[in-house]
Structure 1
Amino acid sequence: MTLWTKNTFSQSRHKHREVKSDIMDLTEPVLICLGAAVAVYYGVKLLLFNRILFPKVWFPLAKTFLTSTGEWAVVTGASEGIGRAYAFALAEQGMSVVIMSRTKVRLDQVAKEIGDKTGQKVKVIVADFTKENVFSEIEDQLRDLDIGVLVNNVGMLPSYVPSRFLECAELEKTITKVINCNVKTLAKMCKIILPGMENRGRGVIVNVSSGVACIPFPLYTLYSASKVFVERFSQGLHAEYRDKGIIIQTVAPFGVSTRMAAYQQTNIVTLSPEDFVKSSLQYLRAGDKTHGSVCHAIMGWLLQSIPLKILHAESMLHNLRDYVKKKTALAASIVASPSATFENGRKK
């Protein structure tokens, strides 16, 4: 080996040691920064979870907050379930309520119950939101009311039993009905009521979505997609009008014991409509989207953390369909029983 070669080799080894030393010197601060980033990330997660655990501490509401927005609250789909519970809760807060649905007999009964229990005024508007032209009459009946709260609750499932898109009965009609009820109604009711809120500089709009909208949800494809619209529309609208003093919020529940959920037995996960609404109202100042309760927020995080390959596996979809079929059949048999009576979605 020549002297020049030996010198070159020595210089190369020396430079290699210097590069290796520089890398070692950088490793420690990189790891420290990475660890700090992870700590901050999970610290923020913990803080957000803490906010969900204690809404009364983080998002306090004055007792007169809702009544300060206006005299009247409007609730769609108010003849039963979550809508009925919202109407009762708002009346108990001192608001007069407009209840809307397609079944007059049920609406009249709910109106009587609210009036008897709370002493508040109740206005009934009969409307089938699956139809095309129902909003001009609604607008006329709401024109002179000081409306502080709107709850867009009305919604429909294409089928109670989960099914593939092309398996849905009367698919063409069903598409139109779902879009009219779940999408068009939301936008139209905001168009009718939001201008008055903007003029007065106050108001609350609650748009009821669904937990199934947080991921692509096979067998509920049309329904979950319509609820994605509810969330995006609400979030965009909130950004546009929050500086006007208006709260616009999506509420995305999972299990609530209603007819749509086959009146499942209430438990820590499946809440009664009354318990869910009471909980969800505590999060009115929590931002443009909430799941409405601690347990449903946890369910949302869990569902989004599971790989879609697992959730979309054929075996999972098959088990989901069988489970809902059994629950729906059981609920139908209970409702059909001559001795069966229900109170707040639960058998007495």
Structure 2
Amino acid sequence: MAAVDSFSLLLRDIGRTCNCYMETLALIGALYTAKMCFTFVNDTYTLVRLHFIPRLVRKADLVKLYGQWAVVTGGTSGIGKYYAKELASRKVNIILVSRNQEKLEALAREIADTYEVETAIIVVDFNKGSEIYPALKNVLEDKEIGILVNNVGVFYTHPDYFANLTWDKIWELINVNIGAATMMVHMVLPGMVERKKGAIVNISSMSCCQPTPLMTAYSASKAYLDHFSRALHYEYAPQGIFVQSLIPFFISTNMTKFSKELTPKNFLVPSAEVYAHHAVTTLGISRRTTGYWLHTILFLLGQYIPEWLWAWGTYRMNNTLRLEATLQGPH
């Protein structure tokens, strides 16, 4: 009988101990659920505040906020071209920087005639490295640069293994994606600091968020821009400088022409014109954003994906794009 009583007491003690553990686990679960609910509400608020409210209120006076002139690199096509037009529609004078003089002149005339603003062009090939910057600095010195849009960038011919890249392509990624933005900021920033106002927009990529196989060097160069922008904000926000990192997903531009899946414009892969129209409304509001509401949803979801799952998914996607481009042959 004593043995039975002892066994009963043992079960009772085990039950008390389990109840204690269950209560602890329940508390942890409740805290986690509360955290996830708070995160969801906050993310929803961020989405609405960034991409919908600014479209309902009066457009910000960018000239008053930042200055008379904006410099847009890679400004003859894609995001750069339409971002320049959006700025010009708000009466900001535009300096277009690219390597194709004919396209620069045509776009500068179009912007000047359409939006009645001043325009200027600078013909430069950023892939030539450090030798181009002294002359470029001399041209910019007498302008009140209020906004700098570092849009110029290069991609692979198509997603591919790192070892398949040529030396020329690797140096192009370094010179254009990293070097150009860094040096352009270094040239215009002192004037912004002196005037205590200005905005810098560095266009990165969603591939910067986590390691992205088959875009290894490209995503790394865009991760540099993202970290560069975020650190720069902490240095110069107290001096009145707004620094923004734009991290879009795929946009239908020349960079995506290797794929028939990415070339057609749709809600998920918008045209450069649609993207720029959305992105400009986030200027001065968010220092790190995709610039486009559907891409923001993807970005918010991507934050909760483990690195291994992101790498697995992007590898499969990029390998499919690689095979598609390979079958199509040279572009």
Q: Give the structure-2-normalised TM-score.
A: 0.87
TM superposition shift of 1:39: 2.3
**Structure 1 stretches of 5 or more lacking a match?**
333-348
Secondary structure at 2:120 match in 1: strand
Moved more, 270-279 or 292-301: 292-301
Output aligned runs, 1:1-348, within 5 Å: 17=12, 20-21=15-16, 23-25=18-20, 27-28=22-23, 30-55=25-50, 56-57=52-53, 63-68=59-64, 69-132=66-129, 133-157=131-155, 159-168=156-165, 171-262=166-257, 264-303=263-302, 305=305, 307-308=309-310, 310-311=312-313, 316-325=317-326
Aligned equivalent of 1:336 = none
Displacement of 1:109 = 0.5
| Percent of pairs with identical residues | 30
Indicate the SS of the match to 1:283.
coil
Q: Is the 8 A contact 2:212 2:311 kept in 1?
A: no
Change (3 A) 1:161 1:30: closer
Report how far residue 211 of structure 1 moved.
1.7
Deviation at 1:37, TM superposition (A): 3.1
Contact map agreement 2:214 2:319 (CA 8 A) in 1: no
Q: Flag structure 2 segments of 5+ consecutive residues without an equivalent.
A: none
Distance 1:297 1:24, change over 3 A: same
- Equivalent residue letter for 1:150: L
Residue 257 of structure 1 aligns to which amino acid in structure 2? S
Q: Structure 1 31/286 Cα, relative in aligned 2: closer, same or farther at 3 Å?
A: farther
Describe the shift of the 1:211–1:328 C-alpha distance in structure 2 as closer, same or farther (beyond 3 A): farther
* CA pair 246-316 structure 1, distance change in 2 beyond 3 A: closer
- C-alpha separation in 2, matches of 1:248 and 1:11: 70
Distance 2:184 2:232 in 1: 13
In 2, the alpha carbon distance for the partners of 1:107 and 1:280 equals: 22
Q: Kindly tell me: are residues 38 and 324 of structure 1, through their superposed partners in 2, closer, same or farther at Cα, counting changes over 3 Å?
A: farther
CA distance in 2, matches of 1:238, 1:60: 27
**Cα pair distance change 1:65/1:243, threshold 3 Å:** farther
How many Å separate the matches in 2 of 1:209 and 1:190? 15
- TM-score using structure 1 length: 0.83
In 2, Cα distance between equivalents of 1:49 and 1:152: 29
1:136-187, Cα deviation, whole Å (9 max, x unpaired): 1111111121111000000011x3222211212xx22222221110101111
